Structure formats: structure tokens, C-alpha cells
A and B are shown apart, each in its own frame.
Chain A
Amino acid sequence: MRIALAAAAAVAYAVLLLAPLAVIVYSVSPGAALEIPPSGASLRWYAGLVDQPRLISGLLTSLLLGAVATGAALATGIPAALALTRGSLPGREAFLAVLLSPLSLPGLVLGLGVLTSAAVLANATGIQTAGTLLPLIAAHLLITIPWVVRSVAASLESTDPALEDQARSLGAGPFATLFLVTLPSARAGIVAGAVSAFVISFGNFALSLLLASGRTVTLPVAIYETVDRYQDPTVAAVSTLTIAAAVAAAVLTDRISGPLQTRDSSSRSGDRRSSPAGLEPVR
């Protein structure tokens, strides 16, 4: 039984590894054509990246967009997580559901909506946002906030509020308590939320497709436009860099907050407190 399960798991893990592996292998191929068996390996496509202004500009745009969206998501998401876990708010679960709802919206449809809003805004007030990063930043902020809220709220749920009461009774003001006790104890959740937010923004495609044009084309959109037209290992090279970054992000989050998403048995027996509604399953 155990062997059958292990075999089934191995098949599934192999399926998950196949596509990234194909990209990595093609990125070091000596020629533009794929060869089986390969006749050697070469890093020339990585060096060739400097001659691909669209991919380079896409990479820079995505890095900037990811950084801005993550910063804004932390600035809005951490207060929201605090309110949800410490605010004794009525209808807490409804608020959480509202904040997480953008995750289940079809990205392309949301992009069309944002594009329409930008057009309406331009018609009504003359403020032109088309061709700027603003619509992309707003859209990415919307879909990164849930990751910050979820991760920070989970972290705050697992820390003991009694610690904060003690700090208050020892004479610490509300701000001192917040910055010296509450936020440091949620550090793991904040870092994990920031990493997820950045990675989600950096890799987003469907939502960005209709909003990106000219100088605001993001890396996933640039890759999409390039692979759609011709085969070029340079695309595989830049894609491999993003794969490496994704794996690094996964390892990093795992190191900070312990096994990601799925809980180990130790936490199950020790922590019987229910997590806030909607924090599981992971979406």
C-alpha cells in the first residue's frame, strides 16, 4: 500500500517537474534547434539576453512593479490583518472573505474591468493613466493584499495576545506594544507574505495582459509575446532565471516559517486553535 502511494506520488511529482526541466534543458542547448540527444551545452543564450531589449525591459518592469505592489500590499495588508485578529470586530469572517475574494476572480476579466475604469476616468476627468504603470500597480495590489493578509493573520493567530497585555501593563504605550511586541512576533508571517506577494505579482500574466503596453510590458507578457511567435532559447534562458527565483523564494519561505502551507504533525497536536475562516485550504 505504502509503495503504491509512493509510486503514485512519484508520478505526480514527475509531472510537476517536467515543464520547468524542459525550459532549463533548452536554455543551455548549443543551437536554436532542440537536439535529442543533446550535442553539448552552452551558456550563449544567457549572454544573448543583453540583445533582447523587450525581455530586459520586461524584467525591469516586473521587478519594479513587484516591489511597488509588495510595499503597498504590506502597508494595507498588515493593518487589515491586525484589525481582523485583534480588533474584536463583528462580521470578521465576512471582511476576510471580501479581502480574499479577488483571488477567485478571472484575471483577464478583472484586467478588462480595470482597463474600462481607466478609460472612464480619462473621459470624465482627463486624467490619462493608459501607458503608465498605475493601472498595473492597482491591479497587482488587489491580488497581492490577500497573500499578505492571510499570512500575517495566520501568524498573529498563533501568537499569544497575553504577551501584548503584559507589555501594556508594564507601561508600554499602544505604539510601543505594536512595534516592539506584536509586529516582531508576526515577523515570520510578514516576511512570508511579502515573498508571496512579490512572487505573485512578478509571475502574474492574465491580469496584466490587457493592461501592459509599450514600456509597461511585464516579463510574463513579454515572454508570452515572444514564444507565441518563434522559438528562441533566449526566452528559455530568462525563463530559467525566473524558475531559479521561484525555487529560491519557496526555499526561503520554508526556512522562515517552517514547512509551507501544510502543517506538520507537531503543530497539529499542540495547536488546537482553529485558524481564521478562509485561511485554509490554500488557494
Chain B
Amino acid sequence: MDRSRRRVAGLLLLPALLVVAVVAAVPIGLLFRVALYPPGPVAPLSGGPALDSFAGLLSAPYPSVALRTLRLSLLTTVLVTVLGFPVALFLSRSRGLSRRVQTLLIVSPLLMSVVVRAYGWMLILGRQGFVGETLAALSLPRVGLLHTETAVLLALTESFLPFMILALAASLDRIDPDLLAAARGLGASSARAFLAVVVPLTLPGFIAGASFVLVGSLSAYAVPALLGGSAARTFVMEIYELVTISFDWPTAAAASVALLLFASALLGGAALLSRRRSARIFGT
């Protein structure tokens, strides 16, 4: 009985697993292979296998672009945490209609295309945009923030804020209110109880949220391309131009592989960290 049940389950799982194999595993495997061809706009691909395409990533402009991308991702993660924590706390203490409306406010942006939201920021930040025109109407000098790193940071923060709020709120919702009451009953001040009970128990949510935001903002394309442009080139923008402008597929594939490995290392590290954390808290 159990064996036939398992066989049916395996069959039911097969189509979905097949999609992952054909549309994710095979394409990524091919990228690893293409990355081993010598760099340059050659068609059809020949020669190699060699690591020249990876070595090319060590020369300009890639290191500085990679650093800028990393800096933007780290700053985005810090900003969404600082902005998101109070919201998550407020949300987890809200009930009924207020909670439903807030959830709608948080989830709706996730359902809008990232291009539409980036477009909104272009309209706000451009010299002829809402900020620029308002300044002009007040006879102040126009300031255009479009095509700056600040604009990219602002829009990245907005686009990843909902994820961090949801991740932190999921952790906060799981905290047993009795724990706080126990801490207070044992003589802790409310500030101390908060720092000693609530903050540590939010860490799993923070780790999950932060790793997702880090990887997501490293991989973002629409926001840096539309709001930063040539003033804030990121790693993924380089990959896109390697494919569409220089037709240098081996270097594009090598850069993709580098990004994938870095992202996997981040996610793997986060998973490890949260496992160790929960082991320490729950003593298992």
C-alpha cells in the first residue's frame, strides 16, 4: 500500500520536476559550458575549454561595477530592514480590518510589474518630473535625481520593502505572547523584554528576508537600467549589454555563472546561519 502510494506520488511530482530540469537545470548547465569558450563575439562558438572568459571579468569595468552592485544591494538591505521592522511590528500587533488593509498595501505592489513601479519613480524623480516641477513652481532651482545611484537605491528599497516586511512579520507572528509576559513577570523592563525576547526571535525572519533582498537586488535589472542608466551601471546591466551589444556570449555566460555562484553562496550561508540559530534557540 505504502509503496504504491509512493509510486503514485513520484509520478505526480514528475511533470513539475521535469520543468525545473529542462527549463532551469539544462539552461544553467549550458551557461557553464558556454562560459568555457574563449571570449569575444565569435559565431559559431569554438575553441576552449578555457577559463579566459572568467579571467576577463577581473579587468575593467567588471570589478568596479561588481563593487557598485554589491554596495547598492547592501544599502538596500539595510534600508528595507530599518524601514520594514517597525512596519512588521505594527502589522503583527494589528487585528481585523486594519490588518487586512495593511496587508493589501504591502502585497499589492508585489503584484504590479517592476517596470511600472520603476516608471513611477522616473516620473517622480526626473527634472521634468513631480519633484522637479514642484521645485520650479516654488521658484526653486530644479533638481533631477534621475540617473543617479540615489534614485536606484530609492527604487530598489521600495521594490524590496514588502518582502522584508512579510518575512519579519511571519517571525513576529510566531512569537508566543506568553514569552513576553514571562519576561515581564521575571522583572524585565518592557525595553529589556523586547531586546531579549522579540529581537532574537525575529532573527530567522530577518535572515530569510535579508538574503532574499540581497540576492534580489543583486539580480535586479529594470530598476538600475531605468533609474540609474549609464550613471549607475550594475553587473546584470553588463551581462545584458554583453549579449545584445557586444554579442560576447562567453563573457556574458561567465558573468552569469559568477553571479549565480555568488548568489547561491549567499543563500546557502543564510540557510546554514538560520539552522544554527534555531538550534541555539530551541536546543535541538
Contacts and interface: CB of A to CB of B under 8 A. Distances in A.
A19 B121 contact: yes
B20 A101 contact: yes
A83 interface: yes
Q: Interface of chain A, helix or strand or loop or mixed?
A: helix
B22 A138 contact: yes
Contacts of B92: 262
A254 B103 contact: yes
Contacts of A239: 113, 116, 119-120
A87 B2 CA distance: 9
Q: Interface extent on B, as a size class?
A: 35 or more
B221 interface: yes
B104 interface: yes
A149 B8 CA distance: 17
Given A116-B30, A142-B20, A206-B219, A13 B103 contact: no
A107 B221 contact: yes
Interface string A4-33: 111011011101111111110110000001
B165 A12 contact: yes
B236 A106 contact: yes
Contacts of A106: 215, 218-219, 236, 256, 259-260, 263
Interface stretch (B49-57, B60-68, B79-87, B181-189): B79-87
Given A259-B99, A263-B173, A84 B115 contact: no
Given A79-B13, A106-B219, A223 B6 contact: no
A203 B111 contact: yes
A262 B95 contact: no
A173 to B, nearest CB: 14
Contacts of B161: 12, 15-16
25 contacts: A6-B90, A9-B86, A11-B83, A13-B105, A16-B162, A18-B124, A20-B120, A23-B123, A33-B128, A35-B133, A80-B12, A98-B17, A101-B20, A112-B239, A113-B31, A116-B34, A209-B221, A219-B113, A224-B222, A227-B119, A246-B109, A261-B166, A263-B170, A268-B174, A281-B167
Interface of B: 2, 5-6, 8-10, 12-13, 15-17, 19-20, 22-24, 26-28, 30-31, 34, 44, 83-84, 86-87, 89-93, 95, 99-100, 102-109, 111-124, 128-130, 133-134, 136-137, 155, 157-158, 161-163, 165-167, 169-171, 173-174, 205, 208-209, 212, 215, 218-222, 225-226, 236, 239-240, 243-244, 249, 252-253, 256, 259-260, 263, 267
